[in-house]
């Protein structure tokens, strides 16, 4: 990659003094560029968009620009406004990316200075901070028309469609694995109705379409390097129209679990009510007033549903021969499936307690 050509295409000023790989992302290739102009150094994040996953790069970048512009406007007057959201640097031709003629789609952000990304939750208060940050993301975009956004990954959280793909995988049984996972297959079939519930409420108009992030992991929030307060939500590739439950539920799925996603010893896996409460407290403190009663009612269920959906996806991939999720040993997707289903089962037993916690912060 010729970084000097990229510098020219984005109209960057100064001498390019460093260009190096950056971060831990698995989807897009990321680099940090450092330019020096006189005595001032400016850092940028350059990413090569994985257009085998994100096929509509125009739509993807328009989504990001819509959302970041809206958040920036909400923070006008804040002295920290340049760190409240990502800053997209357009190419000199006005496009939000540069296509190099070889099928590479490159985009540029201003580096968010004096921040850190955490890879795992170190204490419950960090989960509360995460909840407040993604709640604030919802709060700031509550008056944005989500129908303006495209689906960057169609049917990403269409759980009914995930169930359809699961049924196809069981029927086709491409690798002859169905017989050994009948317990897991039955677990899914017994809960088919769950996959249609939230989508049904959306069709009935009881749940509003909102802007959702859809990848609410801890490392998609930048913390201030000094005091670890929430600064900026990042990785906006999966920002799409959806339900608030997608973001809340997926955060609980990974954040409130007591074990690793591929833990073999299922006795170590449960959903921590303490961690559930911490995230809920943070989330509701920043966006609870923007949610309607039906949305609030189904927040606990969404934790179960998003966990169930993820388990279905792992099981479907296992049946299909591990073609989607990266694996490091042959039965990793099956282990992932079993941890998710253990969490689902545990949540079902704790649902009344989860509802009481949500009601506490309503």
User: pLDDT digit of tens for each residue in the chain (362 aa)?
Assistant: 899 999 999 999 999 999 999 987 768 889 999 999 988 999 999 999 999 889 999 999 999 999 999 999 999 988 888 899 999 999 999 999 999 988 899 999 999 999 999 988 889 999 999 999 999 999 999 999 999 999 999 999 999 999 999 999 999 999 999 999 999 999 999 999 999 999 999 999 999 999 999 999 999 999 999 999 999 999 999 999 999 999 999 999 999 999 999 999 999 999 999 999 999 999 999 999 999 999 999 999 999 999 999 999 999 999 999 998 989 999 999 999 999 999 999 999 999 999 999 999 99
CA 100 centroid distance within chain: 28
Instruction: For 61-99, write each residue's pLDDT tens digit.
Output: 999 999 999 999 999 988 888 899 999 999 999 999 999
Terminal-residue alpha carbon distance, the chain: 51
Dihedral pair phi/psi, residue 355, rounded to 5°: -65, -40
Q: Among residues 89, 37, 44, 93, which one has the least CA distance to residue 65?
A: 89
Q: What is the pTM of this model?
A: 0.93
Helices (H), 204-331: 244-255, 273-287, 293-297, 299-320
CA pair distance 8, 13, nearest whole angstrom: 9
Which candidate, 251, 268, 280, places its Cα nearest to that of 360?
280
CATH fit for domain 124-360, picks 3.30.365.10, 3.90.1200.10, 3.40.50.2300, 3.90.420.10: 3.90.1200.10
CB 339 within 8 A of CB 266: yes
Q: Would you list the domain boundaries of the chain?
A: 3-113, 124-360
Q: How far is CA 272 from the centre of its chain?
A: 21
Q: Radius of gyration over alpha carbons of the chain, in Å?
A: 21
Note the CATH architecture for domain 3-113: 2-Layer Sandwich (3.30)
- The yes-or-no answer to whether 3-113 and 124-360 have a common fold is no
């Amino acid at each position: 990659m010729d970084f000097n050509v990229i510098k020219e295409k984005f109209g960057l000023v100064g001498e390019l003094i460093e260009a190096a790989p950056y971060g831990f992302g698995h989807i897009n290739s990321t680099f940090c560029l450092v330019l020096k102009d006189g005595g001032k150094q400016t850092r940028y994040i350059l990413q090569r968009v994985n257009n085998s996953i994100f096929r509509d790069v125009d739509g993807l970048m328009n989504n990001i620009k819509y959302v970041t512009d809206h958040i920036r406007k909400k923070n006008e007057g804040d002295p920290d406004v340049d760190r409240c959201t990502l800053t997209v640097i357009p190419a000199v031709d006005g496009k939000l990316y540069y296509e190099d003629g070889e099928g590479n789609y490159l985009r540029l952000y201003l580096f968010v200075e004096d921040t850190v990304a955490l890879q795992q939750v170190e204490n419950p208060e960090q989960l509360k901070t995460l909840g407040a940050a993604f709640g604030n993301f919802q709060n700031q975009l509550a008056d944005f028309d989500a129908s303006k956004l495209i689906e960057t990954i169609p049917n990403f959280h269409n759980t009914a469609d995930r169930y359809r793909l699961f049924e196809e995988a069981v029927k086709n049984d491409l690798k002859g694995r169905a017989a050994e996972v009948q317990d897991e297959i039955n677990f899914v079939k017994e809960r088919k109705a769950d996959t249609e519930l939230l989508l049904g409420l959306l069709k009935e108009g009881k749940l509003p379409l909102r802007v959702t992030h859809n990848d609410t992991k801890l490392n998609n929030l930048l913390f201030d390097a000094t005091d670890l307060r929430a600064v900026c939500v990042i990785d906006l590739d999966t920002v799409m129209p959806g339900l608030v439950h997608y973001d809340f539920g997926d955060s609980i799925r990974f954040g409130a679990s007591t074990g690793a996603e591929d833990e073999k010893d299922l006795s170590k896996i449960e959903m921590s009510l303490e961690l559930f409460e911490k995230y809920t407290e943070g989330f509701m403190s920043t966006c609870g007033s923007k949610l309607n009663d039906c949305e609030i009612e189904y927040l606990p269920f969404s934790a179960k549903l998003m966990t169930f959906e993820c388990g279905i996806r792992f099981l479907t991939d296992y049946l299909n021969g591990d073609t989607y999720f990266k694996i490091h040993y042959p039965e990793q997707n099956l282990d992932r499936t079993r941890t998710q289903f253990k969490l689902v089962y545990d949540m079902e037993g704790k649902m009344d307690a989860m509802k009481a916690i949500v009601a506490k912060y309503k």
